[in-house]
Amino acid sequence: MGHNHNMLWFLLLCLIIGQGLFKEVKGLACNWGTQTTHPLQPSIVVRLLKENGFDKVKLFEADPGALKALGHSGIQVMVGIPNDLLGPLSSSVQAAINWVQQNVSDYISKHGVDIRYVAVGNEPFLKTYTDKYLQTTFPALKNIQAALIKAGLGKQVKVTVPLNADVYQTDTGLPSGGNFRSDIHDLMISIIKFLSDSSSPLTINIYPFLSLNADPNFPKEYAFFNGSAAPVVDGSIAYTNVFEANFDTLITALEKNGFPSMPVIIGEVGWPTDGDPSANAVYAQRFNQGLLNRIFQGQGTPKRKNLPDVYLFSLLDEDTKSVDPGNFERHWGIFYFDGALKYQLDMGGGKTLVPAKGVKYLARQWCIMSPDANIADPNLANSINYACSYADCTSLGYGSSCGGLDVRKNASYAFNMYFQTMDQRKGTCSFNNLSTITNLDPSQGSCRFEIMIDLGKHETAASPRSSAPRMQTSIIGLLMLLLLSTICGVF
């Protein structure tokens, strides 16, 4: 009787699950970039990942601290190979064998890292690279695959190449017109065939923000998942957002070239919060919440009903990333550089985002423009110029979080970013007698005056002298224009 009773409960449970009354929350994936002057301790980042439900992470390089911290964490890892290594790896099988041994095999066997993918290069076929990596990407991919097989990891660790969505296009403006770019068509088919034969996925990065940012006529609402823009009708399909349309353009390209079932990973997708008028916390929260809701629901696209793995870009801000694409490049994180919350997200299962714990900061002090200093001082412009040459001033740009500051606050922000980037060292708040140190937080509205992480209290430290970025002249010019325009009374 007891056996029959248990069997009835088992059948009832199966029926409930079958009816979808119990719904499992899909695991989350994200990118962890490390281009920053003041990195969080890797163990703190891993804890941040786990506490927010991320069970997959993509690294852009085989960072030793990050990989060791990920050991025995239960988090699956995609480890990247930077583009500057494609040349050496493409020309030498032994170089690939050595790389796999040092950056994959050793971390799996010695540290218990659950490495599932090796990402060979990062968007190597971008049009802006002007064919720089066309001859090396595929040979490097093949050599890394051979090295994984030699290491006995061919089934456990798969290769892939993260590609920007500009590798495909549509002449009709509709997903049904999708095909790979004519200049790389044959190369793309060769890579896709190789990946398919190796049971490996294709990885594509999709950025609705960039679609909006690049075209002043782009319908803003079409960038979001719950937008009110008029749908784009493609035959019997009506697309209500650019994410779906972009992804299905890729699927059409795969179908046209004989790979209708090719597995695809979305390697990067997200929204920045600063450095551009369209990069703000309100838009980022709206976009990322819509994305998360789709992940939790397993909602795919019209041509692929099952949503693939989606790696949110990105976990943390990075203050030394190149700003060639735009000042927003340093602000893609769902968290600030120190793991502090930017905005709240529903992470499923009744959970919300939680910030990093255990972060140690430098002293609670800021470098600002002295109240006694004159904004007409001839040394002021050069002082701001110098500060922003070695620290991140991208938040001062037009439409950014600190873009509305007056001249004095503008200078204070620049001085403080330099002071903090240089670890508040003695003499780094000295700008021609224009600056002073204060214990009163000068933050204003959405403009956050930072205090950096104390690297001396962490396991690893990066020297700001070597890693502090020298800023692009376009940013410096913007600051100079703002300063001079305000002094002269233009605004």
Identify whether 14 is part of a domain. no
Whether residues 98 and 181 share a domain: the answer is yes
- Catalytic pick from 61, 268, 318, 329? 268
274 within a domain of the structure (yes/no): yes
> What pLDDT score does 18 carry?
40
Pair of tokens at residue 73? 């964490």
What are 417's two structure tokens? 């970013």
Say yes or no to pLDDT of 16 above 60. Answer: no
More confident residue, 18 or 122: 122
Once rounded to an integer, what is the mean pLDDT over residues 277-305? 97
Is 433 contained in some domain? Answer: yes
Distance CA 462, CA 435 (A): 26
pLDDT, tens digit (0-9, with 9 covering 90-100), for 173-184: 999 999 999 999
Let me know whether 316 and 377 are in one domain: no
Whether cis (ω within 30° of 0) applies to the bond prior to 314 is yes
Q: Tell whether the model's pLDDT for residue 482 goes beyond 60.
A: no
Q: What mean pLDDT comes out for the span 421-438?
A: 97
The answer on 329 and 222 residing in a single domain is yes
Q: Are residues 420 and 281 in the same domain?
A: no
CATH number at residue 109: 3.20.20.80
Clarify whether residues 331 and 371 are in a common domain: no
- Rounded to whole angstroms, the Cα distance separating 132 from 273 reads 31
Alpha-carbon span 491 to 475, nearest angstrom: 19
130-170: per-residue pLDDT in tens? 999 999 999 999 999 999 999 999 999 999 999 999 999 99
Domain identity same for 270 and 123 = yes
Collapse the DSSP code of 214 into the 3-class scheme (helix H, G, I; strand E, B; otherwise coil) and give the result.
Answer: helix
Q: Is the pLDDT of residue 280 over 90?
A: yes
Query: Does residue 343 form part of some domain?
Result: no
Number of Cβ within a 10 Å radius of residue 369? 27
Name the domain boundary from 438, 458, 483.
Answer: 438
H-run or E-run covering 293: helix 281-297
Query: Residue 349: inside a domain, yes or no?
Result: no
Q: Which domain holds residue 378?
A: 366-438
Taking residues 211-221, report their average pLDDT.
Answer: 93
Q: What is the pTM of this model?
A: 0.89
C-alpha separations of 418 from 52, 156, 354, 366, 424 in Å = 32, 45, 29, 10, 8
Number of domains within the chain: 2
Q: Which among 438, 455, 472 is the end of a domain?
A: 438
Assess whether 123 carries a catalytic annotation: yes
Two structure tokens written together for 282: 């309100």
Same domain, 328 and 386: no
- At 26, is the pLDDT very low, low, confident or very high (cuts 50, 70, 90)? low
Q: Which of 79, 91, 87 is nearest to 159 (CA)?
A: 79
24 as an active site residue: the answer is no
- Quick: pLDDT tens for 310-341: 999 999 999 999 999 999 999 999 999 999 99
pLDDT, tens digit (0-9, with 9 covering 90-100), for 62-71: 999 999 999 9
Tell me the average pLDDT across 105-116: 98
pLDDT, tens digit, for every residue of 394-411?
Answer: 999 999 999 999 999 999
So what's the pLDDT on residue 227? 85
Q: Say if residue 163 is in the same domain as residue 100.
A: yes
Identify the pLDDT of residue 458: 54
**Same domain flag for 329 and 417:** no
> What spatial distance separates the first Cα and last Cα of the chain, rounded to whole Å?
86
Whether 63 and 156 map to the same domain: the answer is yes
Q: Are 65 and 196 within one domain?
A: yes
Omega before 443 cis (within 30°)?
Answer: no
CB burial string 476-491: b at 16+ within 10 A, e below: bebbbebbeebeeeee
Please indicate, yes or no, if residue 347 is contained in any of the structural domains.
no
Q: Is residue 107 part of a domain?
A: yes
Give the span between the Cα atoms of 381 and 71, in whole angstroms: 48
Model confidence band, residue 27 (pLDDT cutoffs 50, 70, 90): confident
**Residues 305 and 385 grouped into a single domain:** no
Which position among 123, 318, 329, 450 bears the catalytic label? 123
- Structural domain contains residue 391: yes
Over residues 191-220, the mean pLDDT reads: 96
322: left (phi over 0), alpha (psi -120 to 50) or beta: beta
